[in-house]
């Protein structure tokens, strides 16, 4: 029997204690079988349980094994492509619905943390940092755009103000979102899993779904068992492989890398990020960073198209960290890891139904901590027969990557190379 552990990371090393979870053996019957115990799966399970459904979650490895337990921990609102792109792709009613929902995921996280008393080091405040005047112009129009949809808690930072929140000379300004913030991502997932179980849901670990028998009464098969369900929610995202071929064709797993320094001590940490906000810059291939509760710097960036694991993560990410904070040149890196997110061609999430009873959400393309929590709510609404918000997502247009399975990685890498050049020259 396979026993896949967490990858070595700061998060795995500082995870809250959890009970062992069973492997599925034999047959169980449930209302909803959720495939994948990341935020999408766990958020769906929680909303469904709160609404009286019986829920069984199948996880191939461990709760939060995927991106949800490895990410930068940044609560970033809105979507990986912004509402202006959505406005150009869909009609006004759909755009209005999606715009209104753009900040809901962050609220859901805070409600979950408060309701289920999840210990995950939640902090308020996220900064988008502008490296040049073009970025700053973009942030100004983004603020105006978000305000049109009722999101008014945003503050533009000029060059003097951004120096007060981050000790990095590279920025000309920024945008502060106090409804953004940061969390210990794996502990959030573990807390949500405990909440699922407290409401009577069951989570099987080391229990990969290997086949879905579709039809009026679908069955999900694992190596040693099967789940008979009225509905299935597919939430395997970048780790799903080819279980559902229709989903594999329109998305591409990509790796991104994160490093964590040794503890910096309170004094040094305070000089870097005095208010303890998290930061991401405005480049297409962006850098993101924040402090942990024990005052380490977590720094992420870099994308590997096609999700091959790089041989030396520190060699890729440390120079980026030192570009932002040269004062850390003698600081040791304690942890380095990689994780996969799912890229779509439009960089908008893919949501929909396969037949009447298989639902999915995937492909948030980089920014997914808030969206996945919203996705769980929207999927649960659809299963309860209130599908207006689900349909707003499901109606977003999606296209396969050019070149099919063989050529999608080189094509996307070429696109990223082009955008990387634009980042470099501030275009």
Ligand X SMILES: Cc1cc2nc3c(=O)[nH]c(=O)nc-3n(C[C@H](O)[C@H](O)[C@H](O)COP(=O)(O)OP(=O)(O)OC[C@H]3O[C@@H](n4cnc5c(N)ncnc54)[C@H](O)[C@@H]3O)c2cc1C
Residues at the interface with ligand X (CB under 6 A): 35-41, 58-61, 65-68, 70-74, 76, 208-209, 235-240, 243, 256, 258, 288, 300, 339-341, 364, 366-369, 372
Instruction: Measure Cα distances from 348 to 9, 75, 269, 343, 397 in Å.
Output: 28, 17, 35, 8, 9
User: Taking Cα atoms as reference points, which of 195, 191, 190 lies closest to residue 49?
Assistant: 195
Q: Which residues are CB-neighbours of 233 under 8 A, at least 6 positions away?
A: 32, 33, 34, 35, 41, 44, 359, 360, 361, 379
- For residue 198, count other CB atoms closer than 10 A to its CB: 11
CA–CA separation, 196 and 395 (whole Å):
30
- Nearest distance, CB of residue 297 and ligand X, angstroms: 14
Q: How many of the other CB atoms lie within 10 Å of CB of 274? A: 12
Nearer to ligand X, 61 or 297 (CB): 61
Burial 49-87 (b: 16+ CB within 10 A, else e): beeebbbbbbbbbbbbbbbbbbbbbbbbbbbbbbbebbb
Give the nearer residue to ligand X in terms of CB position, either 132 or 207.
207
For ligand X, the closer CB: 99 or 366: 366
- Residue 42 Cβ, how far from ligand X at the closest point, in Å? 7
Residue 166: phi and psi, rounded to 5, are -150, 130
From CA 358, how far away is CA 218, in angstroms rounded? 9
Q: Which is nearer to ligand X, 38 or 174 (CB)?
A: 38
Of the two residues 132 and 370, which places its CB atom closer to ligand X in the complex? Answer: 370
Instruction: Compute the least distance from the CB of residue 249 to ligand X, in Å.
Output: 16
Rounded to whole angstroms, the Cα distance separating 308 from 315 reads 16
Q: How far is the CB of 203 from ligand X (least distance, A)?
A: 11
Residue 401 Cβ vs ligand X, minimum distance, rounded to whole Å = 18
- CB 235 → ligand X: shortest distance, Å? 5
CB of 238 to ligand X, least distance (A): 5
Cα separation, 191 vs 122, whole angstroms:
12
Nearer to ligand X, 96 or 316 (CB): 316
DSSP-derived letter for residue 8 is S
Backbone angles phi and psi of 356, in degrees to 5: -90, -20
Residue 290 tokens, joined = 């924040």
- Select 165 or 235, whichever has its Cβ closest to ligand X: 235
Provide, rounded to whole angstroms, the least separation between the CB of residue 274 and ligand X. Answer: 21
Our CB check for ligand X shows the closer of 96 and 314 to be 314
CB closer to ligand X, 59 vs 423: 59
Nearest-approach distance from CB 422 to ligand X, in angstroms:
22
- The closest residue (CB) to ligand X is 368
Q: Are 42 and 63 in contact (CB under 8 A)?
A: yes
């Amino acid at each position: 029997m396979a026993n896949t552990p967490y990858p070595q990371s700061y998060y795995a090393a500082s995870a809250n204690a959890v009970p062992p979870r069973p492997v599925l053996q034999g047959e169980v019957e449930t209302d909803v079988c959720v495939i994948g115990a990341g935020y999408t799966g766990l958020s769906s399970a929680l909303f469904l349980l709160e609404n009286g459904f019986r829920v069984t979650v199948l996880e191939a490895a461990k709760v939060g094994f995927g991106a949800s337990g490895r990410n930068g921990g940044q609560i970033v609102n809105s979507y990986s492509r912004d509402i202006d792109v959505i406005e150009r792709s869909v009609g006004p009613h759909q755009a209005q619905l999606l715009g209104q929902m753009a900040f809901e995921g962050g609220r859901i996280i805070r409600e979950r943390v408060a309701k289920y008393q999840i210990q995950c080091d939640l902090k308020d405040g996220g900064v988008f940092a502008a490296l040049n005047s073009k970025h700053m112009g973009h942030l100004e129009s983004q603020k105006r755009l978000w305000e049109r949809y009722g999101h008014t808690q945003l503050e533009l930072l000029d060059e003097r103000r951004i120096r007060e929140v981050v000790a990095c000379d590279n920025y000309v300004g920024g945008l502060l979102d106090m409804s953004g913030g940061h969390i210990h991502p794996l502990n959030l997932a573990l807390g949500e899993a405990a909440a699922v179980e407290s409401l009577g849901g069951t989570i099987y670990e080391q229990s990969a779904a290997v086949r879905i028998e579709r039809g009026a009464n679908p069955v999900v098969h694992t190596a040693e068992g099967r789940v008979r369900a009225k509905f299935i929610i597919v939430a395997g995202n970048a780790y799903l492989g080819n279980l559902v071929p229709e989903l594999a064709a329109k998305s591409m797993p990509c790796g991104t890398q994160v490093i964590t320094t040794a503890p910096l001590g309170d004094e040094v940490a305070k000089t870097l990020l005095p208010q303890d906000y998290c930061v991401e810059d405005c480049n297409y291939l962006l850098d993101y960073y924040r402090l942990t509760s024990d005052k380490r710097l977590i720094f992420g960036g870099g994308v590997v198209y096609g999700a091959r694991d790089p041989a030396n993560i520190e060699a890729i990410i440390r120079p980026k960290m030192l570009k932002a904070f040269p004062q850390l040149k003698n600081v040791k890196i304690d942890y380095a890891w990689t994780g996969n997110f799912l890229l779509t061609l439009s960089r908008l999430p893919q949501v929909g139904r396969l037949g009447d009873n298989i639902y999915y959400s995937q492909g948030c393309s980089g920014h997914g901590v808030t969206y996945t929590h919203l996705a769980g709510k929207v999927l649960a609404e659809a299963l309860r027969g209130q599908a207006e918000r689900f349909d707003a997502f499901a109606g977003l247009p999606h296209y396969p990557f050019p070149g099919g399975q063989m050529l999608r990685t080189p094509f996307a890498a070429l696109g990223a190379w082009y955008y990387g050049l634009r980042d470099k020259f501030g275009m």
